């Protein structure tokens, strides 16, 4: 982008500046550290100039928004056309309570729903399972059967909202329930829009809510891809998640690398299952984290977009540009929230949300200030949503597309992150792909090393966390935290036993037996799962029918 | 190292949440502080935790939980320890635990609760100063 | 509860405590071990060794389940390395054995190697005796699994299963490094992976080339610990091997050798300890003279021996 002559001159001038102007100042006031680096330990120089991006080719590396390689964004007009979807992850207690919270959020101007399920639901246990003790309704809503799902979306027209569900191992079952609820509302499945997380690989690596071993889990995922491409065409069939990988301690580079490596594994699995890449790839979506290091995060999103476009085009020979577009949801980083001086978290979330918007996110969840302490209260959730609205309507960053492009620093970081992520992906390919690398514990080990390094930096004081290892104050413990009613467990158990007494138990038994049988075959399981949920077979029963055939995953753990 | 007193710690994750970043970072830090750390993995029932603590004859049990089930699971663990006649194991907890729950957990016999942001050096000191055996 | 009484009454808490005392080299442990000695010799002791990542813990988990299904009780000692820098250790083998935790017929103890280099902790020898006196039918010792020098397991086990996996790249080296010499059975774990058959062939070739005279040629069993494939066969071969060596009198012979070796080590350990305690000053003086070339090490040694014999 720059001619050779002016670069040479610049180089000389820069050397002169360093040896005179800078040198004089440093002699008087040395810089705060000998070396500077980003939040993820990429080295940062004092100054960036065209010299740092001299290899860059505008058309090849950046291009135009809405066009390959999508570095500058996946839509040509970005937020000038439509703002991102403001989507607050919510759900707790019973379906009744969560239903009320959803209606409140929609009334406050939220534009999409994001359902949080409790851990027993995520791991395929009914509320009366011994391991569910103490967990029912805690981190999300408890769903035991289609009955609960009907309550959860009561009075919410499913053809009018888009719903994101954070559900992985039993994603097929929850999707089946959603389809069944819609059917009862008179909404056909082709009208439904939303997302299921459905990303099992990162569960093995970072999040821990797995049920089945990798192979049958991947089969469930490709079954969903195939089924949705025919029957639920507007549904995002997977949200390939770097969020939890980052939360587990990964760096920005690792977040991009491991997420895209998982993405590659899903694409390969689907192709192996006989699907055409352009048939399912446009429905793949991603989910990233937004941390505090503003520029690094913006660069991360841009690098991820460019890298995925290249992978889809060059490696998988996708033809449809939609297959090459990395569309993503962002959530601000839960792990950066502090229990100390919780109001400071509002500021952190603002910076993180800004990074996501400057990085071109399609939807955004902003964390609430009290999430290091408990589930967020209604007031905290509102502030979090208002944060997004202030960025959207007051900050002005939405008025042009990809405003940080051309910043020597941001472009340099974008290149660096892409390059380092690609090195990881190569290494993972050498290990036989993401599933094998996970089985060997490679990815887990890399993440844990980063997590430990991060902690040591805080302990040593090299990394400062305001209010935690600097600027501490004596403070009163916060009050008015949200408490989940301990009765939820009792209520769910009662609902379950009532359900089991009133439904057609023979139909349930037959449907479940049919499912176990189909699980042994190669047939797509989605239709049978839909039949099961319609008989009001419980989530736990359906998972058990699959456990009998698939077995259960046992973790490999590394430190 | 002959005859030296090595502190043995069981790091356990009761409940169903899979967020073990904290548990693993602590495990490593305690190892680096010269302790022997037994990690038992995710989704451990109170019964499994207590049995493992007995067979491993640990000095300390460190419980990590982020799901919010602490008010049910921590007391259950303390109750099982008492039933087995064990009063010389130091039990500490950590994770997303609201301040207002801490007095109740301490009443149940949890020696200390460490909330997010606690320096690990503080946890190490606490263990070294309070092991009972 | 009194230590000895507790062990004989099969109290796990006491067994766990005694193992701790052994690790700490507490004199109370020696007292208890003296009394327990006559109650030992009834367990079969099986060593499981192999390179890291071979899936040893998973295999032990499955094997123990099979043994339990046959009504046998099982003690497990799982050794992990102590960090040479901090003296601490991360003991993670239990993660793979979660299913066994609540089984009353199982006792699992994780041990740090605490400076031992041969793949098992020094305290493991005596811990085996504790579990033996406790009445476990089988005692399985899982070695550290860090590399190639893990041959100490033969000093304690009645038989050794060497676990290998395809694709680790160091299979052949492991074999060459002497692990092959100690194997009574080979388990080729993760055998659903590519390269399993090749590995089996390699092991067979090694065995054919070996100079060692086998009483019983080590069988090679393909297993997949995560799905349970081959575990029945592995368990069957283990008990077959044990009955064979028992019936042929080989077990008794082996145990006599082990007892002898252990006693010799005990003598060496205590005599040298005594000498270092009693003659520390003389040794230091001699050492200085050796460094200053006033005396040579051989003459110095003779001088030291003289002083011991004379009881000076």
pLDDT tens-digit map of B91-101: 999 998 888 89
For residue B112, tell me if it sits in a domain.
yes
Contacts of B36 in chain C (CB under 8 A): 82, 88-89, 91, 110, 112
For C90, which of B31, B34, B54 is closest by C-beta distance? B31
Domain count, chain A: 2
Q: Is A532 part of a structural domain of the chain? A: no
C200 and C282 belong to one structural domain = no
Rounded to an integer, the average pLDDT of B50-57 is 98
**In terms of residue numbers, what domain contains C78?**
43-128+137-247
Q: Name the closest residue on chain B to residue A140, using Cα atoms.
A: B67
Residue A60 inside a domain? The answer is: no
Q: Do B25 and A455 touch (CB under 8 A)?
A: yes
**Which residues does chain A have within 8 Å of residue B17's beta carbon, measured at their own beta carbons?**
119, 139, 208
- Whether C172 and C242 map to the same domain: the answer is yes
Domain membership of residue A24 as a residue range: 4-53
Q: Identify the pLDDT of residue B67.
A: 87
In this prediction, residue C312 carries a pLDDT of 57
Residue A214 and residue A357 share a domain: yes
- Cβ separation A213–C92 shorter than 8 A: no
Query: Is residue C20 one of the residues assigned to a domain?
Result: no
Residue B18 and residue A207: Cβ atoms within 8 Å?
yes
Is C166 within the bounds of a domain? yes
Judge if A36 and A126 occupy the same domain. no
Please check whether residues C119 and C151 belong to one and the same domain.
yes
Dihedral through CA C148, CA C150, CA C99, CA C129, nearest 10? 180
Q: For every residue of chain C, which 3-state class applies, written as one string?
A: CCHHHHHHCCCHHHHHHHHHHHHCCCHHHHHHHHHHHHHCCCCEEEEEECCCCCCHHHHHHHHHHHHHHCCCCEEEEEEECCCCCCCCEEECHHHHHHHHCCCCCEEEEEEECCCCCCCCCHHHHHHHHHHHHHCCCEEEEECCCCCCCCHHHHHCCCEEEEEECCCCCCHHHHHHHHHHHHCCEEEECCCCCCCHHHHHHHHHHHHHHCCCCCCCCCCEEECECCCCECHHHHHHHHHHHHHHHHHCCHHHHHHHHHHHHHHHHHHHHHHHHHHHHHCHHHHHHHHHHHHCCCCCHHHHHHHHHHHHHHCC
Same domain? A49 vs A70: no
CATH number of the domain where residue A82 is located: 3.20.20.240
Touching check for C110 and chain A: CB below 8 Å?
no
Between B71-80, B82-91, C87-96, C303-312, the lowest mean confidence (pLDDT) is in C303-312
Mean pLDDT of C194-215: 81
Contact at 8 Å (CB) between A116 and A89?
yes
ipTM of this complex prediction, to 2 decimal places? 0.93
Residues C266 and C243 in one domain: no
DSSP H helices, A364-477, are 378-393, 408-430, 434-439, 442-460
End residue of a domain, out of C247, C271, C286: C247
On whether both A31 and A84 belong to a single domain, the answer is no
The pLDDT confidence band at residue B2, using thresholds 50, 70 and 90, is very low
Question: Do A215 and A327 sit in the same domain of this protein?
Answer: yes
Looking at the fold, whether C58 and C165 belong to one and the same domain comes out as yes
B104 touching A (Cβ < 8 Å): no
Position C18 in a domain: no
Instruction: Give chain C's mean pLDDT.
Output: 89
CATH of the domain at C63: 3.40.50.300
CB contacts < 8 A, A to B, total 114
Domain tally for chain B?
Answer: 1
Q: Find all residues with CB under 8 Å of C67, minimum gap 6, and list them.
A: C74, C137, C138, C235
How many structural domains compose chain C?
2
Chain A residue closest to C194 (CA)?
Answer: A432
C90 touches chain A (CB under 8 A): yes
What is the chain B residue with the closest CA to C88?
B34
Global pTM reads 0.90
pLDDT at position C240 = 95
**Which residue of chain C is at minimal alpha-carbon distance from A431?**
C167
Do C270 and C233 fall into the same domain? no
A133/B100 Cβ within 8 A: no
Judged by CB atoms closer than 8 Å, whether chains meet at B120 and A123 is answered as no
* A28 shares its domain with A87: no
Whether A38 maps to a domain, the answer reads yes
Q: Band of the pLDDT at C150, cuts 50, 70, 90?
A: low
Is residue A412 in some structural domain? Answer: yes
Looking at the predicted structure, is the pLDDT value of residue C155 above 90? Answer: no
Residue C290 lies in a domain: yes
- Cβ neighbours of residue A75 under 8 Å, at least 6 residues apart? A65, A66, A81, A82
Same-domain check for residues C54 and C189: yes
Residue B2 lies in a domain: no
pLDDT in tens, A462-497: 999 999 999 999 888 777 777 777 789 999 999 999
CA nearest neighbour of B108 among B63, B67, B58: B63
Same domain, C280 and C162: no
- Tell me which chain A residues have a C-beta less than 8 angstroms from the C-beta of B115: 339, 372-373
Residues A20 and A70 in one domain: no
Is residue C4 one of the residues assigned to a domain? Answer: no
Nearest residue of chain C to residue A441 (CA atoms): C53
User: Rounded to a whole number, what is the distance in Å from the CA of A554 to chain B's nearest CA?
Assistant: 10
- Are C179 and C287 part of one and the same domain? no
**CA neighbor of A401 nearest in space, from A66, A47, A39:** A66
The conformational region for residue B105 under phi > 0 = left, psi -120 to 50 = alpha, else beta, is alpha
The CA radius of gyration of chain B, in Å to the nearest whole number, is 14
Examine residue B1 and state whether it is found in any structural domain, yes or no: no
Same domain for A298 and A168: yes
> Is residue A347 within 8 Å of A362, Cβ to Cβ?
no
Is the CB of B34 inside 8 Å of chain A's CB atoms?
no
Percentages helix, strand, coil for chain B (3-state, rounded to 5) are 40, 20, 40
Residue A225 lies in a domain: yes
Tens of pLDDT along C19-43? 999 999 999 999 999 999 999 999 9
* C80 and C179 inside one domain: yes
Q: Which of A460, A479, A500 is the last residue of a domain?
A: A460
**What residues of A are in contact with residue C229 (Cβ under 8 Å)?**
none
Residue C218 has pLDDT above 80, yes or no: yes
Shared domain for C141 and C237, answered yes or no, is yes
> Smallest Cα–Cα separation from A259: which of A301, A293, A318?
A301
Which chains pack against A, by 3+ Cβ pairs within 8 A? Answer: B, C
Q: Distance between CA A276 and CA A273 in Å, rounded?
A: 9
Task: Please indicate, yes or no, whether residues C227 and C306 belong to a single structural domain of this protein.
Answer: no
C92 touches chain A (CB under 8 A): yes
- Indicate the residue among A460, A495, A529 that finishes a domain: A460
Contact between C227 and A551 using a beta-carbon 8 Å cutoff: yes
Q: What are B10-46's pLDDT values in tens digits?
A: 999 999 998 899 999 999 999 999 999 999 999 999 9
Asked whether residue B3 is assigned to any structural domain, the reply reads no
C7 in B contact zone (CB under 8 Å)? no
Phi, psi of A77 (to 5 degrees): -110, -5
| Whether A213 contacts chain C with CB within 8 A | yes
User: Which residues of B fall within a CB distance of 8 Å from C92?
Assistant: 38-39
Q: Which residues of chain A have pLDDT under 70?
A: 557-559
Residues of B within 8 A of A467 (CB-CB) are: 117
Closest CA to C134 of C27, C241, C32: C32
Instruction: Say if C79 is an interface residue toward chain B (CB within 8 Å).
Output: no
Contacts of B28 in chain C (CB under 8 A): 90
Task: Provide the β-strand partners of residue A364.
Answer: A86, A330
Query: Would B77 be classed as within a structural domain?
Result: yes
CATH number at residue B81: 3.40.50.280
Domain-located, residue C256? no
Domain that holds residue B113: 8-130
């Amino acid at each position: 982008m720059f001619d050779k002559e002016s670069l040479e001159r610049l180089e000389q001038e820069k050397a002169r500046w360093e040896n005179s102007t800078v040198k004089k100042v440093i002699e008087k006031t040395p810089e705060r550290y000998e070396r500077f680096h980003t939040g993820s330990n990429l080295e940062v120089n004092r100054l960036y100039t065209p010299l740092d991006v001299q290899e860059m080719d505008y058309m090849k590396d950046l291009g135009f928004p809405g066009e390959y390689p999508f570095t500058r964004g996946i839509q040509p007009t970005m937020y000038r056309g439509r703002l991102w979807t403001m989507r607050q992850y919510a759900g707790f207690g019973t379906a009744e309570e969560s239903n009320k919270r959803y209606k409140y959020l929609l009334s406050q101007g939220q534009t999409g729903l994001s359902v949080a399920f409790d851990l027993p639901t995520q791991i395929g246990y009914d509320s009366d399972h011994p391991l569910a003790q103490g967990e029912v309704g805690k981190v999300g809503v408890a769903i035991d059967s289609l009955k609960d799902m009907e309550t959860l979306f009561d009075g919410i027209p499913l053809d009018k909202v888009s719903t994101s569900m954070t559900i992985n191992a039993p994603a097929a079952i929850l999707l089946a329930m959603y389809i069944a609820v819609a059917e009862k509302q008179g909404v056909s499945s082709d009208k439904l829009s939303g997302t299921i997380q459905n990303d099992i690989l990162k569960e093995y690596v970072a999040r821990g809510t797995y049920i089945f071993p990798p192979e049958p889990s991947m089969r469930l995922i490709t079954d969903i891809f195939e089924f949705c491409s025919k029957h639920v065409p507007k549904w995002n069939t997977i949200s390939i998640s770097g969020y939890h990988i980052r939360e587990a301690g990964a760096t920005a580079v690792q977040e991009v690398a491991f997420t895209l490596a998982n993405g590659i594994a899903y694409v390969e699995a689907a192709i192996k299952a006989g699907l055409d890449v352009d048939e399912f790839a446009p429905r793949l979506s991603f989910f990233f984290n937004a941390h505090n290091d503003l520029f690094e995060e913006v660069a991360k999103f841009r690098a991820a977009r460019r890298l995925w476009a290249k992978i889809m085009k060059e490696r998988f020979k996708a033809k449809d540009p939609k297959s090459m577009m990395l569309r993503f949801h962002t959530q601000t980083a839960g792990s950066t929230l502090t229990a100390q001086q919780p109001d400071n978290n509002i500021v952190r979330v603002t910076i993180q949300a800004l990074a996501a918007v400057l990085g071109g996110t399609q939807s955004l969840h902003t964390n609430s200030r009290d999430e290091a302490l408990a589930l967020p209260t209604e007031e905290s959730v509102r502030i979090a949503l208002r944060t997004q609205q202030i960025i959207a309507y007051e900050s002005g960053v939405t008025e042009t597309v990809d405003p940080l492009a051309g910043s020597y620093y941001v472009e340099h970081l974008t290149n660096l992150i892409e390059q380092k992520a690609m090195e990881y992906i190569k290494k993972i390919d050498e290990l036989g792909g993401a599933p094998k690398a996970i089985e060997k514990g490679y990815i887990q080990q890399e993440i844990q090393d980063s997590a430990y390094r991060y902690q040591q930096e805080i302990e040593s004081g090299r990394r400062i966390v305001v209010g935690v290892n600097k600027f501490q104050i004596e403070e009163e413990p916060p009050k008015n935290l949200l408490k989940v009613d301990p009765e939820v467990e009792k209520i769910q158990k009662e609902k379950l036993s009532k359900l089991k007494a009133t439904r057609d138990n023979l139909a349930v038994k037959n449907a479940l037996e049919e499912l176990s049988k189909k699980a042994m075959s190669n047939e797509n399981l989605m239709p049978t799962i839909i039949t099961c949920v319609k008989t009001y077979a419980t989530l736990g029963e359906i998972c058990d029918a699959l456990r009998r055939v698939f077995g259960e995953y046992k973790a490999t753990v590394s430190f | 190292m002959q005859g030296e007193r090595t502190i043995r710690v069981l790091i356990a994750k009761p409940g169903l949440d899979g967020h073990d970043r904290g548990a693993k970072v602590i495990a490593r830090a305690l190892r680096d502080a010269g302790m022997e750390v037994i990690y038992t993995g995710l989704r451990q029932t109170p019964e499994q935790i207590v049995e493992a603590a007995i067979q491993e004859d640990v000095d300390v049990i460190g419980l990590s939980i982020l799901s919010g089930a602490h008010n049910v699971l921590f007391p259950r663990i303390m109750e099982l320890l008492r039933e087995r006649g064990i009063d010389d194991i130091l039990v500490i907890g950590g994770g997303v635990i609201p301040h207002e729950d801490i007095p109740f957990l301490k009443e149940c016999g949890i020696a200390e609760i460490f909330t997010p942001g606690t320096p690990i050096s503080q946890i190490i000191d606490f263990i070294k100063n309070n092991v009972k055996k | 509860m009194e230590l000895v009484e507790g062990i004989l009454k099969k109290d796990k808490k006491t067994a766990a405590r005694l193992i701790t005392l052994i690790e700490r080299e507490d004199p109370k442990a020696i007292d208890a071990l003296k009394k327990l000695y006559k109650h030992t010799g009834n367990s079969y002791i099986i060593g499981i060794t192999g390179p890291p990542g071979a899936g040893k813990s998973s295999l032990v988990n499955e094997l123990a389940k099979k043994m339990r299904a046959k009504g046998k009780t099982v003690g497990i000692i799982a050794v992990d390395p102590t960090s040479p820098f901090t003296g601490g250790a991360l003991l993670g083998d239990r993660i793979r054995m979660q299913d066994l935790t609540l089984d009353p017929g199982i006792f699992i103890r994780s041990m740090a190697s605490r400076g031992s280099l041969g793949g098992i902790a020094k305290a493991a020898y005596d811990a085996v005796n504790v579990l033996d006196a406790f009445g476990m039918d089988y005692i399985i010792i899982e070695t550290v699994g860090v590399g190639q020098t893990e041959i100490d397991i033969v000093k304690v086990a009645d038989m050794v299963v060497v676990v290998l996996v395809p694709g680790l790249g160091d299979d052949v080296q492991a074999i060459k490094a002497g692990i092959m010499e100690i194997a009574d059975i080979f388990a080729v774990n993760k055998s659903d992976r590519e390269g399993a058959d090749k590995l089996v062939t390699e092991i067979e070739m090694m065995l054919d080339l070996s100079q060692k005279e086998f009483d019983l040629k080590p069988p090679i069993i393909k297993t997949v610990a995560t799905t349970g494939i081959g575990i029945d066969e592995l368990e069957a071969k283990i008990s077959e091997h044990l009955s064979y060596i028992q019936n042929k009198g080989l077990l008794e012979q082996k145990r006599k050798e082990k007892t002898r070796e252990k006693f010799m080590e005990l003598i060496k350990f205590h005599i040298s300890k005594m000498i270092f305690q009693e003659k520390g000053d003389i040794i230091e003086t001699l050492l200085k003279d050796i460094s200053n070339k006033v005396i040579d090490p051989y003459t110095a040694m003779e001088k030291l021996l003289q002083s011991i014999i004379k009881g000076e």
